[in-house]
Amino acid sequence: MDFLVDAWNWLLTPAHWAGAGGAGRRLVEHLRLTGISLALACAVALPLALWLGHRGRGGALAVNLSNAGRAVPTFAVLVLFALTPLGRLGDVPTILALVLFAVPPLLTNAYVGMREADRDAVEAARGMGMSGGQVFLGVELPLAFGLIMTGIRSAAVQIVATATLAALAGGGGLGRIITAGFNTYSTPQVVAGALLVAGLALAVEALLAPVQWLLDPVRRSRGAGRRPGPSAKPAAGTAGGAFGNSGNSGNGSNGSNGISNSPSRISGARGAGETSTTRSELDGDLR
Amino acid sequence: MSARSCLAANEWICGEYLRSRSQELVDATVQHVGIALSSVALGLLVALPLALLVRRWRGLAGPVLGLTTVLYTVPSLALFALLMPVFGLSAAVVVTGLALYSLTILVRNLLAGLDAVPAETREAARGMGYGPLRLLLEVELPLALPALMAGVRIATVSSVSLTTVGAIVGHGGLGDLLYAGLDSYFKAQVLTASVLCVVLAVTADVLLLGVQRLLTPWTRTGKPAPAARRRGRGGGPAGGPGGPGHPGGPGGPGTAASGGTGAAAGPVPSVTSAAKAG
């Protein structure tokens, strides 16, 4: 465990934080790359996903994009971009790669969130005479909020991770501390860089969770829902509905595809209920 | 003449490169496959007892799932860097790191699969005189197999893709070629290695889907199967890992439910929806 002590000492040395190649500068670089890329990716993916979800089209595209993204090595894309003429444009190839890998989780989660918005609530809203836009803003969007935020969280963590790899492909960011440490055979520096990167990824994940909870419109309207109001009602009603829905969905996939041929049908929401108490995509609805 | 000039001209696509470096490419591919497969195998080896422990003592669920989630959040370059002082510059760094990622996915899917085994089925087996071990091996694990296989597919595809990052410790299979190609600005090498990586990932996924079909013949008999299979096929290019069980339907994006036959993987947490990229 000596190497952890050495790494800790490395982190506590002020000289390692100062200067052009110092950890402070790298951290700022990393945060800047992450912020720009996340904003760009959201600007591209969310409107598209919300529109597709509202229309109920393009499901195969939205869902499969995540799967395709998994098969393509991030490192390979970063290196490929670095060798194209784009590579001469400073951060452009890095940001482009980061956006590319952040789009799938955003798109898929937001799309599924829109589609999973309780159909009964949507129908009821239509029946109450809401227009397409009103249904979108008043019913579908609040119900999809949990999954949209889950997508943003995944994308943010993804970008932090990918931005680290950018250092391997000649980009900036905290990964540079690690690669520089490897080049100079400085194990304390390698481990210190790794701790910084891991800490940043975990911090992003940990900070976005309470943000999601605070902003969740379903939770907020449920609190206000004690007094019946036109806007609170559908949201509060469907919060339960969304849970029921998701509960089914976990087991529903058993029922409809795989295990349904096994001796008896899957019963109840037990499996879904229990596993989702970890940190599943149902979080937003459950709380 | 013209073939030779494509190397000299540093073109992206170069037949001469494939011919002259075929041995290098084969070696790198073999190393790549070896690292990816052994990491998933190691992950599976640890995930199985871990999932059973969690199932027996529910109190362990929080710590185990929390810890694996934290591990999963750590970017790969950082994880390899943290393992480097322990294992030195060896393939063990990459295999261990990727096994830890696989572990997260596999434990979750295994638990989801086991939890989804109907209580009636368990009761029936017990009533027929099945002991705990036989119940597990002959009833519960087979029924959890689709969920487990969905996890194995995701873990394998992620591992194949992340093995490239092992280039940092000099054991990245095709990633080593990418890394060297970046330094020497060797376009043909970078493109070839990248394409091979994707081909490997897709091939592994399709092969595992085939294995899953062979292992769970009961999912294909009966009436819902044809529809389910069609949906799965229509899914992604070459059946990406975890095609949509139901487009827009159940499970959410985190579902590891593989196309068509995927089951029981609904309540898989959202972490797995992110392509583990860094």
- The verdict on a CB contact (< 8 Å) between B270 and A279 is yes
Assess whether pLDDT exceeds 80 at residue A231.
no
Give A94→chain B minimum CA distance, Å. Answer: 13
pLDDT-above-90 percentage for chain B: 54
Mean pLDDT for B196-217 is 92
The reported pLDDT for the residue numbered A83 is 87
The reported pLDDT for the residue numbered B222 is 56
The reported pLDDT for the residue numbered A199 is 92
The reported pLDDT for the residue numbered A224 is 59
Assess whether pLDDT exceeds 90 at residue B144.
yes
pLDDT in tens, A248-269: 333 333 333 333 333 322 223 2
DSSP B57: -
Kindly indicate the confidence band of residue B156, based on its pLDDT and cuts at 50, 70 and 90: very high
pTM above 0.80, yes or no: no
> What does pLDDT average to over chain B?
79
Assess whether pLDDT exceeds 60 at residue B124.
yes
Assess whether pLDDT exceeds 70 at residue B236.
no
The reported pLDDT for the residue numbered A67 is 76
State whether residue A157 sits within 8 Å of chain B by CB.
yes
Kindly indicate the confidence band of residue B4, based on its pLDDT and cuts at 50, 70 and 90: low
Distance between CA atoms of residues A94 and A166, nearest Å: 6
The reported pLDDT for the residue numbered B136 is 92
Give B1→chain A minimum CA distance, Å. Answer: 25
Mean pLDDT for A199-224 is 83
The candidate with the shortest Cα–Cα distance to B267, out of A59, A279, A118, is: A279
ipTM over 0.85: no
The reported pLDDT for the residue numbered B278 is 62
C-beta of residue B258 within 8 angstroms of C-beta of residue B146? yes
Q: Which residue has the higher pLDDT, A221 or B138?
A: B138
Distance between CA atoms of residues A156 and A171, nearest Å: 18
pLDDT-above-70 percentage for chain A: 77
| Chain A, nearest residue to B64 by Cα | A278
> What does pLDDT average to over chain A?
74
Mean pLDDT for A37-66 is 86
Q: Which residues of B touch A53 (CB under 8 A)?
A: 248
Mean pLDDT for B188-214 is 93
Q: Which residue has the higher pLDDT, B174 or A220?
A: B174
DSSP A84: S
Least confident span in A12-26, A125-139, A157-171, A231-245: A231-245
C-beta of residue B240 within 8 angstroms of C-beta of residue A108? no
Residue of A67, A80, A197 with shortest CB distance to B236: A67
Give A194→chain B minimum CA distance, Å. Answer: 4
| Chain B, nearest residue to A255 by Cα | B263
Task: Give SS3 for B269.
Answer: coil
Assess whether pLDDT exceeds 80 at residue A276.
no
Mean pLDDT for A220-237 is 47
Interface mutation vs chain A, best among B82, B141, B165, most A CBs within 10 Å: B82
Residue of A66, A251, A282 with shortest CB distance to B275: A66
Q: Which residue has the higher pLDDT, A134 or B44?
A: B44
Own/partner long-range contacts of A265-273 (Cβ < 8 Å, ≥24 apart): A265/B118, A266/B116, A266/B118, A267/B118, A267/B119, A267/B120, A269/A244, A270/B115, A270/B119, A271/B112, A271/B115, A271/B116, A271/B264, A271/B266, A271/B267, A272/A246, A272/A247, A272/A248, A272/B266, A272/B267, A273/A247
- The verdict on a CB contact (< 8 Å) between B175 and A75 is yes
Assess whether pLDDT exceeds 90 at residue A225.
no
DSSP B171: -
Least confident span in A90-94, A178-182, A228-232, B207-211: A228-232
State whether residue A189 sits within 8 Å of chain B by CB.
no
Assess whether pLDDT exceeds 70 at residue A84.
yes
Assess whether pLDDT exceeds 70 at residue A200.
yes
Mean pLDDT for B47-72 is 90
User: Dihedral sign, CA of A260, A263, A266, A268?
Assistant: positive
The reported pLDDT for the residue numbered B118 is 92
Mean pLDDT for B106-127 is 93
The reported pLDDT for the residue numbered B30 is 95
Residue of A115, A155, A261 with shortest CB distance to B221: A261
What are A111's two structure tokens? 């799309």
User: Dihedral sign, CA of A146, A33, A25, A167?
Assistant: positive
Give B77→chain A minimum CA distance, Å. Answer: 7
Kindly indicate the confidence band of residue A25, based on its pLDDT and cuts at 50, 70 and 90: confident
Mean pLDDT for B73-79 is 91
Give B201→chain A minimum CA distance, Å. Answer: 6
Distance between CA atoms of residues A110 and A161, nearest Å: 21
**Range picked from A222-226, B40-44, B234-238 for highest mean pLDDT:** B40-44
The reported pLDDT for the residue numbered A270 is 30
Kindly indicate the confidence band of residue B114, based on its pLDDT and cuts at 50, 70 and 90: very high
Q: Which residues of B touch A193 (CB under 8 A)?
A: 78, 81
Assess whether pLDDT exceeds 50 at residue A230.
no
Mean pLDDT for B23-39 is 94
C-beta of residue B273 within 8 angstroms of C-beta of residue A105? yes
- The verdict on a CB contact (< 8 Å) between B271 and A80 is no
Count of CB contacts below 8 A, A vs B?
355
The reported pLDDT for the residue numbered B140 is 93
The reported pLDDT for the residue numbered B277 is 52
Assess whether pLDDT exceeds 60 at residue B239.
no
State whether residue A74 sits within 8 Å of chain B by CB.
yes
